[in-house]
Amino acid sequence: MANRNSSVLGCVAAIAVLLGQVAWAADPIGTVKTLGGAATITREGAAIPATLGMSVFQADTIATAAGGRIGITFVDNSTMSLGPNASLSLDTFRFDSTTYEGQFQTTLKQGTLAAVSGRIAKQTPEAMTVRTPSAILGVRGTKFVVQAGGG
């Protein structure tokens, strides 16, 4: 009987872990703080007009129009601003608010990105990267600007 109970407890624990991961993946990773002109957030294949205060999630793609600009503050206090005609995908974002450990990976497909790294990069400098069509940037400092394509 004890063996059966431990198997049941093991299954319950595994389900709880999986549910925790699903809930974690659905948590917002940042908020739109500034907005000028037109910008969209593509989530699960649907483009949504960006609005002030809107949450962003891992796997979202943020895009700005010709006159658009958008600024996002992330839960680790990183900030990113995109200029006109930019496209940025939020590939991976994990953050432990207790230890400040995590990982932050983005891909700048085109345009200009200005950023100030937050707690993730301060705790583990190699944990933040920005991919562009021609390079992968490892963030080691606090502030940076990168341009991809014709931006």
Inside any domain, residue 66: yes
Could you report the per-residue pLDDT of 46-86, keeping only the tens digit for each? Answer: 999 999 999 999 999 999 999 999 999 999 999 999 999 99
Count of domains for the chain:
1
Inside any domain, residue 8: no
Q: What is the pTM of this model?
A: 0.80
For 84, the domain range is: 28-148
Inside any domain, residue 45: yes
Inside any domain, residue 5: no
Inside any domain, residue 54: yes
* pLDDT for res 12: 43
Inside any domain, residue 131: yes
* pLDDT for res 138: 81
- Would you say 115 and 90 are in contact if contact means Cβ atoms under 8 Å apart? no
* pLDDT for res 116: 94
Inside any domain, residue 43: yes
Could you report the per-residue pLDDT of 2-56, keeping only the tens digit for each? Answer: 555 445 444 444 444 444 433 345 899 999 999 999 999 999 999 999 999 999 9
Which candidate, 74, 55, 65, places its Cα nearest to that of 116?
Answer: 74
Token pair for 19: 């549910």
| Residue owning tokens 């483009």 | 47
Could you report the per-residue pLDDT of 114-146, keeping only the tens digit for each? Answer: 999 999 999 988 899 999 999 888 877 678 899
* pLDDT for res 137: 80
**CATH code of residue 92:** 2.60.120
Residue 36: CB partners within 8 Å, gap ≥ 6? 67, 68, 69, 70
Inside any domain, residue 7: no
Mean pLDDT of 95-103: 95
| Residue owning tokens 């206090």 | 77
Q: Which amino acid belongs to residue 23?
A: A
